[in-house]
Amino acid sequence: MKSFLQRLPLLGLLIGTTLMLTSCAPKRDRVLHIYIWSDYLADGLVEEFAAANDCEVVIDYYDSNEVLYAKIKGGATGYDLVFPSSYFVRMMAEEGLLQRLNHNNIPNIKNIDPLFVGRVSIDKKMVHSIPYMTGATGIAYRKDEVEDFEPSWRVFERTDLAGRMTLLDDPREVLGAALMVLGHSLNTTNENHIEAAADLVIEWKQNIAQFASEANKAGIASKEFYVVQAWGGDIQQIINENGDENLVFALPEEGFPMWEDTMAIPTGADNVELAEKFINFLHDPVIAARNIEFNSYLCPNWAAYNHLSEETLENPIVIIPKELLGRGKQIQDVREHLAKYTAAWDRVKSAN
């Protein structure tokens, strides 16, 4: 099987909390506590892991890196495994919120595509994090409701669609889209550029129903919303579930964010052993392939590629075509400059 970058040459260039308790009867003494994005584990995987390891798995969900960071930074304890995007890992590690990983206890890291880690990952030596999934952010729209659609972030300026559109509740994603429209890097540290992006988003805000990272999915499926900023795999999941041929995912011509979500163990985790086992479990080639098929995101596990269906290998949402990938830009860690994005986002959220 070709390596990740042979299949994807452009990447080389490149909740409110809901609680789910997976229990094994009789009740086990060992419990793995996970904090993760919603709809991010294939059906049955948690139950299989719990049964194989004679444990319980308790899962809490969040809908933004900011919520995850604030909760861990605020002193929340008890989580054994979290799934931050890569640009949050360095900050969390430097603040002592994540522990160093023991690779000897995670042998399946040998399956992680080294080209992906070397050229895309921020934590290249996987000191505090292990890659989980990667994907792109774009625009989903209903072709049965939207006329004359053009693949541009400026769709959010369309007053004829006012009240029928949503943007993600995520500062780097939304401000990043506006920055690319304005011709700036989505990783800029220039405060004037960031503030100009905030001004543009405030204009878009007049036309959107809400900022939503979860409600956008059900909303576009039910036709409550016609256009939503979205993560590609989320939209493919809706298409798979509903067989909706009128739902389309597009990558904007101005460029689009790409990201890597990771697995990390918080400092003070109660059950490091189970967390390591779960990371290792998710990087078993067959398990990773099942997760890719379910999520419609790509796990950079080279050994899993041989287990993917041809349909998935040819799906442009999972494996972005070469001619489009050059427009994708990786969200990077801007370190202390994150405060500029936070201030700009606060201004966006408070604007009328």
Determine the pLDDT at residue 7.
42
Token pair of 86 as six digits: 């890569």
**CA 100 from centre of chain:** 22
| pLDDT score for 323 | 86
Asked if residue 37 lies in contact with residue 65, where contact means CB atoms within 8 angstroms, the answer is no
Confidence of residue 28 (pLDDT cuts 50, 70, 90): low
Kindly list the domain boundaries of the chain, sorted by start residue.
Answer: 4-134+258-320, 135-257+331-346
Superfamily grouping for domain 4-134+258-320? Periplasmic binding protein-like II (3.40.190.10)
**What is the per-residue pLDDT across 301-346, written as a single tens digit (0 to 9) for each?**
999 999 999 999 999 999 988 888 889 999 999 989 999 999 999 9
Q: How far is CA 300 from CA 4, 5, 72, in A?
A: 7, 10, 27
Residue 125, C-beta contacts closer than 8 angstroms, at least 6 positions apart = none
Residue 2 has pLDDT above 60, yes or no: no
Q: What is the pLDDT of residues 97-121, one digit of tens each?
A: 999 999 999 999 999 999 889 888 9
Lowest-pLDDT range of 34-38, 46-50, 246-250, 317-321: 317-321
Mean pLDDT of the chain: 91
Among 132, 100, 97, 101, which Cα is nearest to 117's?
Answer: 132
State the architecture of 135-257+331-346 in CATH terms. 3-Layer(aba) Sandwich (3.40)
Domain 4-134+258-320 identical in fold to domain 135-257+331-346: yes
Report yes or no: 1 and 306 within 8 Å, Cβ to Cβ.
yes
Residue 121 to residues 38, 53, 187, Cα–Cα distance (Å)? 22, 30, 15
The DSSP-derived string for 165-227 is EEE-S-HHHHHHHHHHHTT--TT---HHHHHHHHHHHHHHHTTEEEE-SSHHHHHHHTTS-SE
DSSP 139: E
Can you give the pTM of this predicted structure?
0.86
Helix%, strand%, coil% for the chain, nearest 5: 40, 20, 40
Contact 188, 179 (CB under 8 A): yes
Q: Which residues contact 339 (CB under 8 A, 6 or more apart)?
A: none
